């Protein structure tokens, strides 16, 4: 059997609903705390290997085996000003997590994110976040939601259900039949809602399990790795101290090696550059805020977030402006568009 790459999972949602905190929780670092104003202004990438996911899931995954090697998370900003970055993150995703603060409910960028996911037919799940703020909720740090729910006072359980079904109602208005994930039998017709507390890690095991389960069940074909030249999307071009101009890119197909020539779109003619160095953050680290040094790689294979140091562009114009998706050598390679098989098809069933 061909091997499969890790799915690219974009995290979308309204400002301050807890996207970065959720990823922080997963990778055990504190990127949110170090961001200016707490607002994510760039898309970052975080690779979470399967072993780390299984460890977080604990006995929820006992006896089950998974073939996907992990998840590659992309954080996106929720602020109204960053709709291009949000759309870019959404377009790139094999799978997505829509984060909604269960106490605030639907907000403008929640709806914008839903529309992006619908436009690209991206399968997604909803993380109903901040359940620790439901009055009377007893916190269970890092525990599965299904366990913690059993150990709540009746009033907290009722209040959580009330808020959750309000979300389910709003999702239905937008054409999605949704339910709490553990009450769903058919994930192809129902959108899974996973109650979580990003801050305390509660429900995070359930979320990760749902993501790897969905990826394995519905995306295997799409994730089959093809040999050949790399294709990817450039997220950002910036000047890095000591490195010069670098490109942060997500490779979603093939292999990119040191010495390869890459081709990228700009506002004018396509640009080209030779890959002088490939830097990859260590697993569980963050591409734009590394805790440790990058690893210098001879080559990287999909899917991976990578920092490309070019040997100087042949066209010395201003820094390229990138369109939504770029081919990285050769320009003819094209990503086979994902099958429209969505785990969240529109209103296929009645909802409560």
Ligand X SMILES: Nc1nc2c(ncn2[C@@H]2O[C@H](COP(=O)(O)OP(=O)(O)OP(=O)(O)O)[C@@H](O)[C@H]2O)c(=O)[nH]1
User: Is the distance from CB of 75 to CB of 82 less than 8 angstroms?
Assistant: no
Question: Which window, 32-40, 47-55, 158-166, 173-181, contacts ligand X (CB under 6 A)?
Answer: 32-40
Q: Which of 77, 195, 265, 305 binds ligand X (CB under 6 A)?
A: 77
Q: Which of 6, 10, 20, 197 binds Mg ion (CB under 5 A)?
A: 20
Burial class (CB in 10 A: 0-12, 13-18, 19+), 300: buried
113 is an interface residue for Mg ion by CB under 5 A: no
Q: Which of 39, 226, 243, 284 binds ligand X (CB under 6 A)?
A: 39
Size of the site for ligand X (CB under 6 A): 22
For the CB of residue 80, give the shortest distance to ligand X in the complex, in Å.
Answer: 10
For the CB of residue 348, give the shortest distance to ligand X in the complex, in Å.
Answer: 30
Question: Which window, 10-18, 111-119, 172-180, 258-266, contacts ligand X (CB under 6 A)?
Answer: 10-18
Report how far residue 234's alpha carbon sits from residue 308's, in angstroms, rounded to the nearest whole number.
10
- Binding partner of residue 246 among ligand X, Mg ion, none, CB cut-off 5 to 8 Å per kind: none
Report how far residue 32's alpha carbon sits from residue 23's, in angstroms, rounded to the nearest whole number.
9
How many degrees, rounded to 5, is the angle at CA 207 between CA 96 and CA 114? 30
Q: Which of 21, 177, 233, 342 binds ligand X (CB under 6 A)?
A: 21
Residues 13-41 as b or e (16 or more Cβ within 10 Å = b): bbbbbbbbbbbbbbbebebbeebeeeebe
Residue least distant from ligand X (Cβ): 78
Report how far residue 26's alpha carbon sits from residue 47's, in angstroms, rounded to the nearest whole number.
10
Is the peptide bond between 330 and the residue preceding it cis, with omega within 30 degrees of 0?
Answer: yes
19 is an interface residue for ligand X by CB under 6 A: yes
90 is an interface residue for ligand X by CB under 6 A: no
Query: Per-residue contact track with ligand X, 127 to 156, x per CB under 6 A?
Result: --xx-xx-----------------------
- Which of 347, 341, 350, 348 lies closest to 122, judged by CA? 341
- Binding partner of residue 326 among ligand X, Mg ion, none, CB cut-off 5 to 8 Å per kind: none
Is the peptide bond between 162 and the residue preceding it cis, with omega within 30 degrees of 0?
Answer: no
Report how far residue 73's alpha carbon sits from residue 85's, in angstroms, rounded to the nearest whole number.
14
Is residue 147 helix, strand or coil? helix
Residues 165-204 interacting with ligand X (rule: CB under 6 A): 197-199
- Binding partner of residue 6 among Mg ion, ligand X, none, CB cut-off 5 to 8 Å per kind: none
Q: Which of 7, 69, 78, 205 binds ligand X (CB under 6 A)?
A: 78
Question: Which window, 12-20, 46-54, 147-155, 243-251, contacts Mg ion (CB under 5 A)?
Answer: 12-20
Please report, as ranges, the residues that interact with ligand X according to CB under 6 A. Answer: 13, 15-21, 32, 38-40, 77-79, 129-130, 132-133, 197-199
Chain residues binding Mg ion by CB under 5 A are 19-20, 40
């Amino acid at each position: 059997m061909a091997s499969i790459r890790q799915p690219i999972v974009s995290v979308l949602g309204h400002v301050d609903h807890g996207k970065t905190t959720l990823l922080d929780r997963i990778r055990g670092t504190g990127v949110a705390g170090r961001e200016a104003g707490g607002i994510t202004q760039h898309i970052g990438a975080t690779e979470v290997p399967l072993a780390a996911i299984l460890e977080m899931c604990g006995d929820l995954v006992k006896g089950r085996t998974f073939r996907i090697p992990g998840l590659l998370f992309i954080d996106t900003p929720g602020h109204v000003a960053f709709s291009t970055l949000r759309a870019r993150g959404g377009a790139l995703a094999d799978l997505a997590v829509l984060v909604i603060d269960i106490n605030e409910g639907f907000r403008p960028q929640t709806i914008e994110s839903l529309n992006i996911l619908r436009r690209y037919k991206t399968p997604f799940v909803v993380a109903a976040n901040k359940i620790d703020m439901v009055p009377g909720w007893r916190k269970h740090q890092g525990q599965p939601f299904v366990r913690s729910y059993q150990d709540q006072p009746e009033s907290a359980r009722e209040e959580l259900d009330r808020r959750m079904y309000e979300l389910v109602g709003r999702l239905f208005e937008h054409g999605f039949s949704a339910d709490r994930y553990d009450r769903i039998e058919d994930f192809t017709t129902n959108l899974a809602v996973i109650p979580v507390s990003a801050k305390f890690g509660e429900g995070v095991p359930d979320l990760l399990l749902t993501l790897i389960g969905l990826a394995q069940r519905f995306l295997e074909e799409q994730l089959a790795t093809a040999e050949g030249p790399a294709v990817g999307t450039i997220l950002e071009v910036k000047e890095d101290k000591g490195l010069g101009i670098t490109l942060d890119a997500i490779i979603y197909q093939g292999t990119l090696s040191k010495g390869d020539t890459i081709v990228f779109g700009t506002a004018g003619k396509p640009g080209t550059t030779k890959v002088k160095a490939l830097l990859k953050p260590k697993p569980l680290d963050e591409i734009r805020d590394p805790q440790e040094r990058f690893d210098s790689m001879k080559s990287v294979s999909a899917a991976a977030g990578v920092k490309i140091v070019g040997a100087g562009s042949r066209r010395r114009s201003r820094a390229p402006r990138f369109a939504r998706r770029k081919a990285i050598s050769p320009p003819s390679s094209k990503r086979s568009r994902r099958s429209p098989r969505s785990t969240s098809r529109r209103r296929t069933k009645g909802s409560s």
